[in-house]
Amino acid sequence: MTELIPAIDIIDGRCVRLSRGDYSTSKIYGDPAEMARAFADAGAPKLHLVDLDGAKASAPCNLNTLERIASDGRLRIEWGGGLKNETALSDCFSAGADFAIIGSVAALQPEVFLEWLDRFGGDRLIFGADVKDGSLAVKGWLEEAAAGMDTLLELFSTHGLARVICTDISRDGMLCGPDISFYMSMAKRFPSLQFTVSGGIGDSGDLAAVRDAGLPGVIVGKAFYEGRITMDEMKLWWQKG
- Rounded distance between C-alpha atoms, residue 144 and residue 167, angstroms: 14
DSSP 2: P
What pairing do the DSSP bridges indicate for beta strands 3-11 and 14-19? Answer: antiparallel
- Helix, strand, coil share (%) of the chain residues, nearest 5: 40, 30, 35
- Mark out the alpha helices in the chain (DSSP H runs): 32-41, 52-57, 63-70, 86-94, 104-108, 110-120, 149-157, 180-189, 204-212, 222-225, 231-240
- Rounded distance between C-alpha atoms, residue 224 and residue 215, angstroms: 20
- Rounded distance between C-alpha atoms, residue 106 and residue 94, angstroms: 21
| Catalytically annotated residue among 12, 91, 118, 130 | 130
- Rounded distance between C-alpha atoms, residue 85 and residue 89, angstroms: 6
Cα 136 to the center of its chain, rounded Å: 15
Biggest CA pair distance of the chain = 44
Cα 98 to the center of its chain, rounded Å: 13
| Catalytically annotated residue among 9, 51, 53, 168 | 9
Is 31 considered catalytic here?
A: no
Is 130 considered catalytic here?
A: yes
Q: Which residues are catalytic?
A: 9, 130
